[in-house]
Amino acid sequence: MSTEKVKKTVPYTVPIGPVHPALKEPVMFTFGMEGEIVRTVDFAPGQTHRGIEWMGMRRNPVQIVHLTDRICGICGIVHSLSFARAVEQIAEIQVPERADYIRTILHELERIQSHLLWAGVAAHELGFDSLFYLTWRVREQSMDLIENLTGNRVNYGIVQIGGVRRDISDEQRVLAEKGLDYYQGLLDKMATLFLEDSTILMRCRGHGILSEQDARLLCTIGPTARASGLNMDVRQDYPYCAYGDLDVKAILPPPETGGPKGDVYDRIIVRLLEVGQSIGIIRQCLENLPAGEILWEPKMAKLLAVLKKAEGEGIGRVEAPRGECMHYVKMAGKEAPESWKVKASSYSNLMSWIPMLQGEQLADVPIIVASIDPCLSCTDRVAVTRNGRSDILTKEDLSRLSREKTRRMMQ
Amino acid sequence: MAGLPFVPEVLKQLFSRPATNAFPARHLPPSVTEFLAKVARGEAQIHPPVPTPPKFRGKIVYDREACIGCSLCIRVCPAHAIEFIPETKRVRIYVTQCIFCSQCNDVCPKDALHMSSDFLLATEDRYAESQIVE
Amino acid sequence: MIGNLPMILVGAVLIAVFSIIIGLLLMGFDRIVAARMQARIGPPLTQPFTDIRKLLAKENVVPENAIPWLFNLAPVLALASAITILLYLPIAGFAPVLSGGGDLILVMYLLTIPALALVAGGFASGSPYATVGAQREMVTMIAYEFPLAIVIIAIAWKLAAAGIALPFTLASIQANPVWSLVGPLGVIGLLILLIVLLIVTPAELSRVPFDTPEAETELAGGILVEYSGKNLALFSLTQGVKTVAMASLVVALFFPYSLAAILGIAGIPAAVTDILFFIVLITIVAFLSVSLVRVSMARFRINQVISVYWIYLAIAGLAGLLLVMTDQIVGVI
Ligand code: SF4
Ligand code: SF4
């Protein structure tokens, strides 16, 4: 609904964004308010388009891997992994088993780190800053572990086409196991602090509801969809890396907590349980870590030569902490890929804001917005500006443009 | 406490040490260099910095003698941070542009590039001497 | 009265200076303790003074669609009324600077004026955030007024029932600590009333979980969003003075003791002991009702603020009142 139309039907509008303390990343909301109640919701993403894909078209896959690390500050492994998997598919590269296991370990560590980050943000949005400090403090442990394994806290630079760049040594294994024990112990405490707190219960139970049907219709993914009762998880449905060897089941809000209601509270529960699941997965991977190489081709010059010859299309899908992340790559026997398209996980979840927010109070906007764990910098793929003015493209415009592009690419 | 599980937690934290990593000095000294000189002489104390992990990827170091000018590093550098100097057949690395991926280290056939653990790199000048490695 | 004027003026100035200094120190204390409870180091004790000094040096921006006179008047009014409250409260065992017949009722009314000034300033800012914040502030005010009134009436009733003249004056409350007037049942009743008053305090001071009018995450500071420079400094001072006022009210109603009298000291040392004792008391009150509460809960939604005050605290307050009354009746029999 356009802003003018909103103004006519509701008493007043409250803008939130693009820069606002409730939002950790820029998006523009316009709420039509009636007293404290949100009647209409409109939002405009696209405030942080950075042209990453454009940069990718001017680089070879080995360079792009490190660029994908920077699509998102949190999902570094997710993006580089799905890009690498797409390219590996095209060039028919067989990733060594050990590398697949290490990828899985890091992927899950990243999930722990990301979910803890989210839990802290959620606590802050609820006005519960002590819990925010506590969560972020314990999150440091996972960052330290990741730093030790990959060499950096963020932008890990660990995934390479055909494997991983660093092995896990025996000392690091001990360290990782210690870290897991720490989180295992911590998890109960977290569960108590989040789930037994009556103020959090008051604020989250029954708010920001996304019904199962809405979740399905709006194609939501990840914890957002699972909290609404959709049994879906890429790790379970289309296992990749080491997940085929493991027993990963999508986590739904357990019936003891009242079954999937699809509210903010369920999203907290799902994420907390997923931290536990990740700990289990990493444990299993560390135990069964196969011996062997970690790279398909350690000599990068050779790898580059193979990639240069590669032709075809590939799709890499992984389950990011926020849901499915997908990279589409098309190579045509050149240094740089001919096309590269990123679908970050939050992209599929943004539309669920509208049914969640309608009829809620303004006070709940921050936590509901945060409850899908939106990551907008990775989501913004287009920004249309013409003569210094930004335009909104309709569905028809978009489908026409994509048809034209496909035609161009076919020629 | 029923319904408010955080109350015992905060009371416990009230009497334990804060988790914050302290700044090197408690207050900004009037002159940083003077303060550091004092520290060197043992007259002042600084909070030790948080250690970097092994194999940390900090500022790049370049062994000019070992380099053969094959420019492989330029081909794999994602950030276009390395420049080839045709006259000397050597490379120049712009640290402000480098993203610390260490890919150039992996590819160098002569092992001429390394990552140090130096991470305090902020400056106001992109082309300061400290920001260019050659 | 006329002859008293110079004394009153001197007293007022002294109280103003005292309350501002103690208020800012209390804010600094609150920040340190809150930081420690969150495992942080926190700012130095004098940070609020530094903040005020900095704010005073900053430009005072008046938004384009604000009502300038009201926008600028509100902070002055807020601070002045906050200081006036203290003139009616006994501080450190000294009799209130101003006093009349029903001054407890007057204090209740005066307590609403800083909040009303804030509301006026919020509406005058002409920003949607401030408007929503101002609406919420009004609702919060209406919500906590009821339990506050119950507490005050309960204590006055007790004094009246005990046959003390002028039960609503703070001077008589000062002279007759309520605890000594009640039996065991009444003590429980009074404890409940004390807790109610301690929970009213954070709302009066707009702190978590009742900081809904300022709600940083959705309203970006709400009612204060457009304030800057000198005006914001005045509001910060008001906040400090209000903290002292609320804590003093709690102390005056429930702990009107003098340490010097207990220890048997007299003269200047007695005054010093009593002032220090008083500061310790209000610090404890501030810790319990501001710092501890604000670090251990999430912010309430505005309808929850109402239900907390009108349902839970009102019931608790009435129960306290009832206990005190039963105690009185049982005691008489
Ligand atoms: S570390 Fe990476 S970004 Fe830096 S110069 Fe080497 S290849 Fe380029
Ligand atoms: S890859 Fe190594 S040897 Fe080749 S140009 Fe770069 S630094 Fe020199």
Best mutation target, B14, B17, B76, B104, to test chain A (most A CBs within 10 A) = B76
Collapsed DSSP state (helix, strand, coil) of residue B6: helix
Q: Which domain holds residue B31?
A: 18-50
DSSP letter string over C243-266? HHHHHHHHHHHH----HHHHHT--
Q: Which helix (H) or strand (E) holds A14?
A: strand A12-16
Read off the pLDDT band of B51 (50, 70, 90).
confident
- Mean pLDDT value across residues A337-363: 84
Say if residue B42 is in the same domain as residue B64.
no
- Mean pLDDT value across residues A203-226: 84
Q: Interface of chain B against chain A, CB under 8 Å?
A: 3-6, 9-10, 19, 53-57, 72, 75-79, 99-103, 106-107
Of the CATH numbers 3.20.20.80, 1.10.3720.10, 1.10.645.10, 3.40.50.450, which one belongs to the domain with range A61-321? 1.10.645.10
- CA–CA distance, B95 with A218 (Å, rounded to integer): 45
- With beta carbons under 8 A apart, name residues in chain A contacting B102: 151, 157
Q: Interface of chain A against chain B, CB under 8 Å?
A: 59-60, 62-67, 69-70, 128, 130-131, 134, 137, 144, 147-148, 151-152, 155, 157, 165-166, 192-193, 196-199, 300-301, 304
Residue at B8 is within a domain: no
CB A240 within 8 A of CB A85: yes
* Closest Cα in chain C to B11: C37
pLDDT given for residue B34 in this prediction: 81
Say if residue B46 is in the same domain as residue B72.
no
Residue A105: partners with Cβ closer than 8 Å, 6 or more residues away: A149, A168, A176, A282, A285, A286
Q: Write out the two tokens for C8.
A: 């009153």
Read off the pLDDT band of A203 (50, 70, 90).
confident
For chain C, list the contacting chains (3+ Cβ pairs, <8 Å). A, B
Residue at B2 is within a domain: no
Strand ranges in chain B using DSSP code E only, listed in sequence order: 60-62, 82-85, 90-94, 113-115, 132-133
* Closest Cα in chain A to B74: A63
Bridge partner residues of A13 (DSSP): A32
- CA–CA distance, A57 with A264 (Å, rounded to integer): 39
pLDDT given for residue C40 in this prediction: 82
* % of chain A at pLDDT higher than 90: 1
ipTM > 0.90, yes or no: no
CB A208 within 8 A of CB A371: yes
Say if residue B32 is in the same domain as residue B87.
no
Least CB–CB distance from A198: residue in B4, B76, B107: B4
Say if residue B40 is in the same domain as residue B105.
no
Measure CA A161 to chain center: 21
Nearest to C187 by CA among C254, C90, C251, C286: C254
Q: What is the DSSP letter of C310?
A: I
Say if residue B26 is in the same domain as residue B91.
no
Question: Among B101, B108, B111, B116, which is best to mutate for testing ligand 1, by the most ligand atoms less than 8 A from CB?
Answer: B101
Ligand 1 first shell, C-beta below 6 A = B 60, 77-79, 81-82, 93, 98-104
Q: Answer whether residue A382 shows pLDDT above 80.
A: no
- CA–CA distance, C306 with C144 (Å, rounded to integer): 8
Q: Write out the two tokens for A129.
A: 């800053």
- CA–CA distance, C128 with C147 (Å, rounded to integer): 30
Could you tell me whether strands B60-62 and B113-115 are parallel, antiparallel, or unpaired per DSSP bridges?
Answer: antiparallel
Question: Among B113, B115, B134, which is best to mutate for testing ligand 2, by the most ligand atoms less than 8 A from CB?
Answer: B113
CB C193 within 8 A of CB C179: no
Residue ranges of the domains in chain A? 61-321
pLDDT given for residue C72 in this prediction: 84
Q: If you measure from the C-alpha of residue A404 to the centroid of ligand 2, how many angstroms do you get, rounded to a whole number?
A: 43
Q: Which helix (H) or strand (E) holds C121?
A: helix C103-125
Read off the pLDDT band of A383 (50, 70, 90).
low
Collapsed DSSP state (helix, strand, coil) of residue A29: strand
A-B CB pairs within 8 A amount to: 73
Collapsed DSSP state (helix, strand, coil) of residue A318: strand
Least confidently predicted of A108-122, A215-229, B15-29, C204-218: C204-218
**Maximum average pLDDT range among A80-94, A116-130, C94-108:** A80-94
Nearest CA, atom 8, ligand 2: B67
Read off the pLDDT band of A371 (50, 70, 90).
confident
Q: State how many domains chain C has.
A: 1
* Closest Cα in chain B to A69: B101
Q: Write out the two tokens for A275.
A: 């931290």
Question: Do B22 and C41 make contact, defined as CB atoms within 8 angstroms?
Answer: yes
Nearest CA, atom 6, ligand 1: B104
Question: Do C35 and B11 make contact, defined as CB atoms within 8 angstroms?
Answer: no
Which listed ligand is nearest to B111 at the C-alpha?
2
Strand ranges in C138-251 using DSSP code E only, listed in sequence order: none
Nearest CA, atom 4, ligand 1: B98
Q: Answer whether residue A6 shows pLDDT above 60.
A: no
pLDDT given for residue A364 in this prediction: 80
Q: What is the DSSP letter of B131?
A: G
Q: Answer whether residue C333 shows pLDDT above 70.
A: no
Collapsed DSSP state (helix, strand, coil) of residue C250: helix
- Mean pLDDT value across residues A97-118: 89
Least CB–CB distance from C218: residue in A128, A197, A363: A363
B85 lines ligand 2 (CB under 6 A): no
Residue A157: partners with Cβ closer than 8 Å, 6 or more residues away: A66, A69, A150, A151, A165, B57, B99, B100, B101, B102, B103
Q: Which domain holds residue C285?
A: 5-332
Q: Write out the two tokens for A43.
A: 């939002």
* Closest Cα in chain A to C212: A363
B60 lines ligand 2 (CB under 6 A): no
A-C CB pairs within 8 A amount to: 83
Q: If you measure from the C-alpha of residue B131 to the centroid of ligand 2, how many angstroms do you get, rounded to a whole number?
A: 19
Give the angle A166-A168-A174 at the CA atoms, nearest 5°. Answer: 150
pLDDT given for residue C297 in this prediction: 74
Q: State how many domains chain B has.
A: 2
For chain A, list the contacting chains (3+ Cβ pairs, <8 Å). B, C
Residue at B37 is within a domain: yes
CB C107 within 8 A of CB C85: yes
Bridge partner residues of A315 (DSSP): A328
Could you tell me whether strands A12-16 and A28-34 are parallel, antiparallel, or unpaired per DSSP bridges?
Answer: antiparallel
pLDDT given for residue C138 in this prediction: 82
- With beta carbons under 8 A apart, name residues in chain C contacting A130: 37-38, 295-296
Kindly report the average pLDDT of chain A as a whole number: 83
Question: Do C37 and B10 make contact, defined as CB atoms within 8 angstroms?
Answer: yes
Nearest to A277 by CA among A104, A147, A150: A104
- For residue range C293-332, list pLDDT tens digits in order: 777 777 777 777 777 777 787 888 788 777 777 777 776 5
Beta-carbon count within 10 A of A392 CB: 9
- With beta carbons under 8 A apart, name residues in chain B contacting A130: 6, 9-10
- With beta carbons under 8 A apart, name residues in chain B contacting C297: 4, 6
Kindly report the average pLDDT of chain C as a whole number: 78
Q: What is the DSSP letter of C288?
A: I
Least CB–CB distance from B6: residue in C40, C42, C296: C296
Say if residue B117 is in the same domain as residue B66.
yes
Measure CA A183 to chain center: 21
Least confidently predicted of C45-49, C93-97, C105-109: C93-97
A59 CB-side CA count, 13 A:
20
pLDDT given for residue C95 in this prediction: 63
Bridge partner residues of B116 (DSSP): none
Bridge partner residues of A361 (DSSP): A37
Give pTM, 2 decimals. Answer: 0.83
- CA–CA distance, A289 with B106 (Å, rounded to integer): 24
Say if residue B115 is in the same domain as residue B94.
yes
Q: Write out the two tokens for A119.
A: 């839990």
Q: If you measure from the C-alpha of residue B103 to the centroid of ligand 1, how many angstroms do you get, rounded to a whole number?
A: 6
Question: Do B101 and A192 make contact, defined as CB atoms within 8 angstroms?
Answer: no
- With beta carbons under 8 A apart, name residues in chain A contacting B4: 197-199
* % of chain C at pLDDT higher than 90: 0
Collapsed DSSP state (helix, strand, coil) of residue B61: strand
Q: Answer whether residue B28 shows pLDDT above 80.
A: no
Least CB–CB distance from B5: residue in A147, A166, A197: A197
Question: Do A127 and C128 make contact, defined as CB atoms within 8 angstroms?
Answer: no
pLDDT given for residue C96 in this prediction: 66
Read off the pLDDT band of A2 (50, 70, 90).
very low
Say if residue B81 is in the same domain as residue B29.
no
Nearest to A350 by CA among A218, A249, A229, A243: A218
DSSP letter string over A343-355? E-HHHHHGGGHHH
- Mean pLDDT value across residues C216-225: 68
CATH number, domain containing residue B64: 3.30.70.3270
- For residue range C57-90, list pLDDT tens digits in order: 888 888 888 788 888 888 888 888 888 888 877 7
pLDDT given for residue C277 in this prediction: 81
- Mean pLDDT value across residues A386-408: 77
- CA–CA distance, A355 with A41 (Å, rounded to integer): 9
The backbone torsions φ and ψ at residue A339, rounded to the nearest 5 degrees and listed phi first, read -145, 145
Q: Answer whether residue C128 shows pLDDT above 80.
A: no
Beta-carbon count within 10 A of C41 CB: 16
Residue C179: partners with Cβ closer than 8 Å, 6 or more residues away: C187, C190, C254
- CA–CA distance, B114 with A241 (Å, rounded to integer): 31
pLDDT given for residue C1 in this prediction: 44
CB A186 within 8 A of CB A138: yes
The backbone torsions φ and ψ at residue A310, rounded to the nearest 5 degrees and listed phi first, read -65, 145
Bridge partner residues of C202 (DSSP): none
- CA–CA distance, A212 with A234 (Å, rounded to integer): 18
Helix spans in A196-341 (H): 198-204, 212-217, 222-227, 234-237, 264-287, 300-309
